[in-house]
């Protein structure tokens, strides 16, 4: 859900009228009656679309819904502007304004709106639970009268938001954890969670951009990382991969050769499956059994923890709304660096270069 009852209450107190699609929150644990108590009205899908000044959603709305939005309406959600820019055509054609949550700049002021971090947190946590459920071994070290059970060994590739949450969750369950990231800066975070940071000599190249994200690496630097991962994978019960480079295919980190070195019963969770996967054998949205090693390629883990994923996302969306709503009225100041960064189309002009290129437009100035 893009808005939970708590957030609705805040928005209504700030002079905003909120309408919620009937029954939309039930699967996430939020009832229509809770929304009504918070001050929202409950509407059927079609009525909601045609009346909204702002449509706050989780994923990009369907073209048939965009066709019925009011002139000048604003759409906010995960719009996939970098992965599927051409799919934003209906929004551009209707001359609407759209903000993509995934483009919100990662600045201190925008931290409360950082929905990518919220979802990565949920995914990193859930990945470990899936691994623990399917591994035919326990995570903690146990000393029992029947003998000692050694702790599970977990290897985490990519130590950004999802990777760090996976490390923390695996450590809480008692696993021995090691992690690798191209950004040397991640080493300190990894160690502070009680995991070992695996270092690879990348010849001193710059691996991090000004926004704190990984840069795309040279084939040689990628290969060095893969060689190290291949050595460590055979010693691991679980490998969780989270490595991504924004707007590009996920880097290949876990080769078939590396998976071949893992023991039957081991588990791979590939959190980069939606952008091509970090494991050579991943099939997005499926679970592959390769010589007894289970390789999971989940596409949307936050949806499996919908209650808390919605709570976090809703707070991100509400913070963002505070930038464009003033005393109940829409007020968009495109000079604001957060709005400028997150905007993909403004009143029908493609503001984002990738969207403009996909639609054969030149970049409009807002």
Cα separation, 198 vs 213, in Å, equals 19
**C-beta of residue 365 within 8 angstroms of C-beta of residue 346:** no
Where do runs of H (alpha helix) occur along the chain? 5-13, 32-37, 45-51, 63-66, 89-93, 115-134, 161-172, 186-192, 219-233, 256-260, 306-324, 337-342, 353-358
Cα separation, 280 vs 277, in Å, equals 7
Nearer to ligand NAD, 199 or 333 (CB): 199
Q: Which of 174, 246, 276, 341 binds ligand NAD (CB under 6 A)?
A: 246
Q: How far is the CB of 215 from ligand NAD (least distance, A)?
A: 8
Q: Which of 48, 74, 75, 214 binds ligand NAD (CB under 6 A)?
A: 214
**C-beta of residue 171 within 8 angstroms of C-beta of residue 190:** no
Q: How far is CA 187 from CA 118, 144, 200, in A?
A: 21, 34, 11
- Catalytic-labelled residue, pool 33, 44, 111, 192: 111
Q: How far is the CB of 252 from ligand NAD (least distance, A)?
A: 8
Q: How far is the CB of 356 from ligand NAD (least distance, A)?
A: 23
Scan for tokens 């970049």, then name that residue: 363
Q: How far is the CB of 172 from ligand NAD (least distance, A)?
A: 19
If binding is defined by CB under 6 A, does position 158 make contact with ligand NAD?
yes
Active site residue 114: yes
If binding is defined by CB under 6 A, does position 298 make contact with ligand NAD?
no
Active site residue 44: no
Token code pair at residue 59: 């994923």
Span of 10-18, 134-142, 209-217, 307-315 interacting with ligand NAD by CB under 6 A? 209-217
Chain position whose Cβ is nearest to ligand NAD: 160
If binding is defined by CB under 6 A, does position 167 make contact with ligand NAD?
no
- Catalytic-labelled residue, pool 65, 114, 189, 237: 114
95: Cα separation from own chain's centroid: 28
User: 111-130: which residues touch ligand NAD (CB under 6 A)?
Assistant: 111, 114, 116-117, 120
115: Cα separation from own chain's centroid: 7
**Residues in touch with ligand NAD (CB under 6 A):** 106, 111, 114, 116-117, 120, 157-163, 180-183, 186, 212-214, 217, 222, 225, 242-246, 251, 253
């Amino acid at each position: 859900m893009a808005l939970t009852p708590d957030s609705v209450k805040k928005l209504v107190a700030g002079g905003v009228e909120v309408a919620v699609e009937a029954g939309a929150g039930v699967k996430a644990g939020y009832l229509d009656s809770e929304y009504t108590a918070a001050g929202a009205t409950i509407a059927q899908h079609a009525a909601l679309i045609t009346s909204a000044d702002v449509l706050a959603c989780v994923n990009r709305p369907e073209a048939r819904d965009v066709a019925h939005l009011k002139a000048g309406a604003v759409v906010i959600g995960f719009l996939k502007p970098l992965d599927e820019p051409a799919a934003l055509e209906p929004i551009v054609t209707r001359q609407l304004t759209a903000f993509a949550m995934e483009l919100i700049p990662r600045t201190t002021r925008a931290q409360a709106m950082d929905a990518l971090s919220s979802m990565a947190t949920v995914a990193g946590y859930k990945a470990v639970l899936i691994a623990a459920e399917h591994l035919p071994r326990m995570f903690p070290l146990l000393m029992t009268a029947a003998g000692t059970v050694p702790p599970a060994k977990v290897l985490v590739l990519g130590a950004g938001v999802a990777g760090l949450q996976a490390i923390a969750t695996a450590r809480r369950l008692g696993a021995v954890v090691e992690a690798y990231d191209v950004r040397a800066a991640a080493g300190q975070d990894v160690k502070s969670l009680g995991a070992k940071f695996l270092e690879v000599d990348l010849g001193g190249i710059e691996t991090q951009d000004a926004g704190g994200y990984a840069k795309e690496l040279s084939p040689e630097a990628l290969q060095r990382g893969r060689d190290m991962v291949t050595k460590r994978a055979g010693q691991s019960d679980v490998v969780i991969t989270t490595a991504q480079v924004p707007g590009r295919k996920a880097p290949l980190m876990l080769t078939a050769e590396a998976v071949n070195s893992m023991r039957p019963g081991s588990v791979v969770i590939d959190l980069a499956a939606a952008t091509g996967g970090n494991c050579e054998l991943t099939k997005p949205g499926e679970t592959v059994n390769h010589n007894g090693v289970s390789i999971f390629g989940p596409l949307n883990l936050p949806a499996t923890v919908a209650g808390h994923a919605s709570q976090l996302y809703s707070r991100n969306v509400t913070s963002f709304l505070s930038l464009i709503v003033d005393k109940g009225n829409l007020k968009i100041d495109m000079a604001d660096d957060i709005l400028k960064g997150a905007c993909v189309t403004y009143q029908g002009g493609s503001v984002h270069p990738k969207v403009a290129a996909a639609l054969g437009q030149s970049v409009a100035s807002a």
